[in-house]
């Protein structure tokens, strides 16, 4: 049975209290449109056609996380229908065990119909965009980047990206299809402050192309939309790592040069900041102390070449295995129960099982990264 929530599109923004009530069928771009009308935002994701519900219930990594935290860290409460058909409110005062569990535990405990989020002032214009170098310079770019980010403020969130340059009008024609490494920035503060913070990175090299500039926050949020359309063939493996050691950088650079598909990309998300300041036990989300999240995406438009690209992702992920710390549950595929346990750690996994036994003892909600009763 499939429960279709796509028609639940309500968004109610209260600029006075800086909160928003958001129904479960809303996508990120739809939420941004409503909140940015007041210069506010929910930290959430990097692709605007992502469904908010799944992203939020699994954690929620995005451009504002180092300043304000993960999407789950903005949750004030949820309305949820349990396996026996009861509509519950879960927040810090009511059903607090359930509220803890849904902040990272995914769809294991019921059907969330509405979320209440805390909002934050953002934009509406920010300093954001990629700095681009040829991929053969990846080792030196990443080593410089590693040193640069040690003392950048929380307002700055960055994503490293390796891929073949897409045929976009903003890129020079002679760069199209060429392997590149990007450092994509988003500064959630005054643009002039962001210029000072980004200056050391943009002066390194210098980059082939510098597209880090003042722009609407909603435009930057949509930057990766074209890279993840519906209907393409996707395979991804993910892991958290503590830091970009020389060995991690060398493995990354080696495997980046083996990308074949012009559609394949793999972001490396910078964590820290507000993500790490939330106590590990405060939510079900696990792995806040990690320095970076690798999300290795093998992508083709159809079946042609997909098997080879998938094998590339598997090999790359395996090469990083000595450095694995954990994995974000939202970045898991069907990888088995042990990987689900790894995504939460042994202690949280057992705590989630106890909540599951209370609210879904028959495991009705099991077609997911399942936590059995």
- Contact criterion met (CB below 8 Å) for 258 and 163: no
What pLDDT sits at residue 187?
99
What pLDDT sits at residue 196?
98
> What distance in Å separates the CA atoms of residue 26 and residue 44, rounded to the nearest whole number?
12
Name the CATH architecture for the domain at 125-331: 3-Layer(aba) Sandwich (3.40)
> What distance in Å separates the CA atoms of residue 372 and residue 337, rounded to the nearest whole number?
9
Q: How many CB atoms sit inside 10 A of residue 368's CB?
A: 16
Question: Domain locations in the chain?
Answer: 11-121, 125-331
Question: Residue 162 is inside which H or E element, if any?
Answer: strand 156-164
Q: How many CB atoms sit inside 10 A of residue 36's CB?
A: 18
Q: Is the peptide bond before 206 cis (omega within 30 degrees of 0)?
A: yes
φ, ψ for residue 75, nearest 5 deg = -70, 130
**Long-range pairs, 316-319, Cβ under 8 A, ≥24:** 316/237, 316/251, 316/255, 316/258, 316/266, 317/237, 317/238, 317/239, 319/251, 319/254, 319/255
Beta pairing, strands 111-118 & 75-81: antiparallel
Walk along the chain (373 residues) and give the pLDDT tens digit of each residue: 889 999 999 999 999 999 999 999 999 999 999 999 999 999 999 999 999 999 999 999 999 999 999 999 999 999 999 999 999 999 999 999 999 999 999 999 999 999 999 999 999 999 999 999 999 999 999 999 999 999 999 999 999 999 999 998 899 999 999 999 999 999 999 999 999 999 999 999 899 999 999 999 999 999 999 999 999 999 999 999 999 999 999 999 999 999 999 999 999 999 999 999 999 999 999 999 999 999 999 999 999 999 999 999 999 999 999 999 999 999 999 999 999 999 999 999 999 999 999 999 999 999 999 999 9
- Cα distance between the two ends of the chain: 20
363 φψ region: left (φ > 0), alpha (ψ -120 to 50), beta (else):
left
User: Which of 3.40.640.10, 3.50.50.60, 3.20.20.140, 3.30.465.10 is the CATH number of 11-121?
Assistant: 3.30.465.10
What pLDDT sits at residue 1?
81
- Contact criterion met (CB below 8 Å) for 267 and 160: yes
- By the 10 Å C-beta count (0-12 exposed, 13-18 middle, 19+ buried), 362 is classed as exposed
> What distance in Å separates the CA atoms of residue 199 and residue 196, rounded to the nearest whole number?
5
Side-chain-side CA neighbours of 130 within 13 Å: the count stands at 21
- Contact criterion met (CB below 8 Å) for 43 and 69: yes
- Contact criterion met (CB below 8 Å) for 24 and 112: yes
- CA 204 → CA 25, 140, 195, 200, 224, distances in Å? 43, 10, 14, 7, 24
Q: Encode 313-341: b = buried (16+ Cβ within 10 Å), e = exposed.
A: beebbebbeebbbbbbbbbbeeeeeeebe
Query: 11-121 with 125-331: one CATH topology?
Result: no
Q: 330 is written with which tokens?
A: 């939202």
- Contact criterion met (CB below 8 Å) for 47 and 31: no
Who's near 339: CB < 8 A, 6+ residues apart? 327, 332
């Amino acid at each position: 049975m499939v429960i279709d929530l796509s028609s639940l599109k309500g968004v109610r923004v209260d600029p006075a209290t800086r909160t928003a009530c958001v129904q479960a069928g809303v996508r990120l771009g739809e939420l941004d449109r409503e909140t940015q009308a007041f210069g506010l935002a929910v930290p959430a994701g990097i692709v605007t056609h992502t469904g908010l519900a799944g992203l939020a219930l699994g954690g929620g990594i995005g451009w504002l996380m180092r300043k304000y935290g993960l999407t789950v860290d903005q949750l004030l409460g949820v309305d949820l229908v349990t396996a026996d058909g009861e509509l519950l409110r879960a927040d810090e005062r009511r059903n607090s065990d359930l509220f803890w569990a849904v902040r990272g535990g995914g769809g294991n405990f019921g059907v969330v119909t509405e979320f209440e989020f805390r909002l934050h002032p953002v934009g509406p214009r920010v300093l954001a965009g990629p700095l681009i170098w040829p991929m053969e310079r990846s080792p030196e770019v990443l080593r410089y980047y590693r040193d640069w980010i040690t003392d950048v403020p929380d307002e700055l969130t960055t994503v490293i990206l390796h891929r073949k340059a897409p045929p976009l009008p903003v890129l020079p024609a002679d760069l199209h299809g060429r392997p590149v490494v990007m450092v994509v920035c988003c500064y959630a503060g005054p643009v002039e402050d962001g210029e000072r913070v980004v200056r050391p990175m943009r002066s390194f090299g210098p980059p082939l192309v510098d597209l880090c500039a003042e722009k609407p926050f909603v435009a930057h949020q949509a930057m990766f939309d074209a890279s993840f359309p519906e209907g393409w063939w996707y395979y991804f493996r993910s892991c958290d790592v503590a830091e970009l050691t020389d060995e991690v950088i060398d493995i990354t650079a080696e495997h980046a040069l083996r990308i074949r598909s012009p559609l394949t990309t793999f972001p490396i998300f910078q964590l820290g900041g507000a993500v790490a300041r939330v106590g590990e036990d405060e939510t079900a989300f696990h792995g806040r102390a990690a320095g970076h999240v690798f999300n290795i995406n093998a992508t083709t438009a159809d079946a042609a070449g997909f098997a080879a690209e998938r094998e590339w992702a598997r090999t790359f992920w395996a090469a990083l295995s000595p450095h694995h710390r954990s994995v974000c549950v939202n970045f898991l595929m069907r990888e088995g129960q042990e990987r689900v346990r790894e995504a939460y750690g042994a202690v949280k996994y057992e705590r989630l099982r106890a909540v599951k036994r209370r609210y879904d003892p028959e495991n009705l909600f099991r077609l997911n990264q399942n936590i059995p009763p």
